Chains A and B, each alone.
Chain A
Amino acid sequence: MTVFRGLILIAAAALAACSPNAPTAQFHSEDNPRLLSEWGQLGIVAGDLQLADGVVPYDLNTPLFTDYALKLRTIWMPSGETAAYRENDTLDFPVGTVITKTFYYPLADTPGQVTRGDGHSLTRADGSLDLSRVQLIETRILVHREAGWEALPYRWNDDQTEAVLLRYGDVVPMTVAEADGGASTFNYVMPDVNQCASCHAPDSNTRQIAPIGPKPRHLNRDFDYPDGTANQLEYLTEVGYLTGAPVPADAPRNADWEDLEASLEARARAYLDANCSHCHSPVGPADTSGLNLQPDIAHGPALGICKLPIAAGSGTGDRRFDIFPGRPDESILLFRLDNVEPDQMMPEVGRSTNHVEGIELIRAWIESLPGDCG
């Protein structure tokens, strides 16, 4: 349906033409540009972070928690390229695809402080972001080259004018404004290039880097695009970025973890899927534990129910079972979520703070589970 895509791109180009510094998306097949702007996916125009033509923002039903950062996610492909639908895997993106994820926080009233993102993106429908309202932290690029995917982390400068490739990561001290007028601090840890693989190499046999989020079950939801609300799978199909997708009703769909209309089971399983299953699968780097948190795993030891730990060390929290049905405070899973000690918390990288609301969800789910571990 490249006709539609062409129309949309033309429309977008017309808008962008008003902005002299509008970015133009690029694929760098070999070199790693030092500056994020050289990718042209995102650009700073008149106090906004704006997306280039053809750069499509997207969201996930249930996202990965990263220290309450908000995330602007985008997909771009070179002209004429398209991804193939895969039901239970990341879309099969062509060489040339560039995926970006920009981590940012809402600014607090007090200078130098931020607030916790509540999950609701501050990006506008066109993916643009008012820089007077946010602090940009980093933009991670996943680029699909001939030899495979590569992950490149870019760190935004204090003026929010440019981000620079920082392959060995960084520690960013953050100050969070609290509701009571006080403030708390934490270290936002930006992973190094090799650590990107600790999440983005979901098959520990091949160790190939791959995107994790853009799977049908995560993407199968509505998004408010500039030209109206549409299902993301349908929209990507319409603009020519996706082929082979069934109608959304026939595609898998994870629950939105915050959607109180959905069942507790579905919300909890979606949360564990988004936060854990890229490692805790039968081929993931955490298969050493024998724990499998993929969304389709039946209740039993593999899902952690009455499962004893293997090599958790202090991560057991002196508890005997990964999940003790009905007893969250005797469940290792909850101990590891409700924890920021590096040797005890899960996931191992990607957060320095606890996700209070996520922990509440998993607590409620474990409380609801029937059975006994004897």
Chain B
Amino acid sequence: MKTFKYLMIGASALVLTACGNSDTSRDLAEANVDYQATLMEQLIDAQPGDVIEIPAGVYSFDRSLSLNIDGVTIRGAGMDETILSFQDQIAGAEGLIVTANDFTLENLAIEDTIGDGLKVNGGENIIIRGVRVEWTNGYATENGAYGIYPVQTTNVLVEDTVAIGASDAGIYVGQSRNVIVRNSRAEYNVAGIEIENCIGADVYGNTATNNTGGILVFNMPNLPQPGYHTRVYDNDIFANNTENFGHAGTPVASVPAGSGVVINSNDQVEIFNNRISDNDTANIIISSLHSTGYSDYSVQTDFDPYPESIWIHDNTYSGGGTSPDGLDLTALKIAMFGLNGALPDVLFDGFVDDAKLVDGALPDALRICVSDPVDVLNADGPNGYASPSVDTEDFRCSLDSLSAVELAFAD
């Protein structure tokens, strides 16, 4: 939201130098540096069907690894046993970049990359399992942007992974189709788990805590694929109150600290059966691109900025909203709910597509529905946030449940 955004720029500028919650990175004194050439050759020589096994150990790399052969599995001995460290990296924008189909990466850790940890750019049938991507110095603006980063992929399974310390998103699936992110843990990232411009995503069984924002479902403009149809369920999303340490200019830099779930400009999103608590700004935020500081110059003409067909139900809530990020939100909270009060569990920026209104209201199928017994604050964005109000009854509706993502290798 615009108010959020301006405040965030001020807030993050203050904290940049203070970021970092750990004094020391992994000690590489005993790390194996000779393995780099071995693994690079294996990646180059790989044939479809190959399994590249990396034994337990700490391996240091000074350049990116890349793989572009279909049908390859890279397997370590466990995310705490096989450690690929890029602390001494001098070249390459990621730790491992994969451009291939039928790829599996499992049971290892990628640590301290300069840029992204694991990027999978394009490809079908991608499995990322038991992988940890971490910046071992703790959260810091200087850390790489994305931990686990499949983009423009189809049929993607991310499970049992851990992402810690990303200066953008820990687990980020972008512009993909048919995605499952489950049973993973995202901590101390700006965005814990982010689904962006994806068609068909199920996010469940995850824990997102100590991020700036826990789970984000976004649509961004100017991309080849707009996203829709995401289910977020059975997750633990609590205390995502870490200061926003993202780089100014990145979309996530406008996310207020203390955001549990954020839906921005996405459609057909179902949020249910989650345990959401103690996110200091709000447990759930629903917003449009209009409130994130984008101007008309910046957006392709056919982009739909409005979040529509959103259904929030059967979640449990506790705490949250008591210490919103930024002066405007703090002032809003105090004005509406008192010094010791709290913003409601659900915040909506209030932007609605006038062109779709029928008799002054959105058709039922496009509504934002909150079935949970919690309040909804409409921030009145279209009127410059002049008259925010608790309009809970306007959101008392339900939608049809979305279908599950079917992924043959995820059963």
Contact = CB atoms under 8 A, between A and B. Distances in A.
Interface of A: 167-169, 171, 187, 189, 192-195, 197-198, 201, 204-205, 207, 282, 285, 287-288, 290, 301-302, 305-321, 332, 341-343, 348-349, 352, 371-374
A142 to B, nearest CB: 16
A194 to B, nearest CB: 4
A358 B371 CA distance: 57
B392 interface: no
B365 interface: no
Contact of B66 (A198, A204, A313, A374): A198
A301 B248 contact: no
Interface stretch (B255-263, B296-304, B334-342): B296-304
B174 interface: yes
A189 B297 contact: no
A307 B220 CA distance: 11
A282 B224 CA distance: 8
Contact of B121 (A282, A285, A315): A285
B74 to A, nearest CB: 13
A302 B221 CA distance: 11
Contacts of A319: 248-249
B145 A204 contact: no
Contacts of A372: 297
A168 B40 contact: yes
A144 B172 CA distance: 37
Contact of A194 (B43, B93, B249, B293): B43
A316 B121 contact: no
A310 B38 CA distance: 35
Given A314-B142, A318-B248, A349-B92, 16 more contacts: A168-B41, A192-B40, A204-B121, A204-B122, A205-B122, A207-B100, A290-B221, A290-B222, A308-B294, A311-B168, A312-B250, A313-B115, A313-B144, A313-B145, A314-B145, A318-B247
A22 B221 CA distance: 58
What are the nearest 10 A-B pairs in CB distance? A313-B145, A343-B115, A316-B249, A306-B297, A168-B40, A318-B248, A374-B295, A290-B222, A194-B66, A348-B93
A194 B44 contact: yes
A316 B9 CA distance: 14
Nearest to A168: B40
Nearest to A350: B91
B216 interface: no
B29 interface: no
Contact of A204 (B37, B67, B97, B152): B152
A301 B92 contact: no
Contacts of A317: 247, 249
A348 B92 contact: yes
Interface in B71-109: 89-93, 97, 99-100
Contacts of B40: 168-169, 192
A4 B144 CA distance: 57
Contact of B99 (A168, A201, A342): A201
Given A192-B40, A311-B172, A313-B145, A342 B115 contact: yes
Which residue among A287, A314, A321, A373 has the maximum number of chain B CB atoms within 10 Å of its CB? Answer: A314
A352 B91 contact: yes
A332 B222 CA distance: 16
A310 B93 contact: no
A101 to B, nearest CB: 19
B222 A207 contact: no
A342 B175 contact: no
A285 B90 CA distance: 22
Contacts of A207: 68, 99-100, 122
B141 interface: yes
A288 B97 CA distance: 14
A316 B93 contact: no
B31 to A, nearest CB: 18
B59 to A, nearest CB: 15
B250 A307 contact: no
Contacts of A290: 221-224
Contact of B167 (A171, A310, A313): A313
A318 B67 CA distance: 31
Interface in B230-249: 247-249
Given A312-B249, A313-B144, A288 B151 contact: yes
Which residue among B99, B100, B250, B293 has the maximum number of chain A CB atoms within 10 Å of its CB? Answer: B250
Contacts of A341: 114
Contact of A307 (B62, B99, B298): B298
Interface in B26-78: 37, 40-41, 43-44, 62-64, 66-68
11 contacts: A168-B44, A302-B300, A305-B297, A310-B174, A313-B168, A319-B248, A332-B249, A342-B89, A343-B113, A343-B144, A349-B93
A302 B223 CA distance: 9
Nearest to B99: A207
Contacts of B325: none
A301 B298 contact: yes
B93 A342 contact: yes
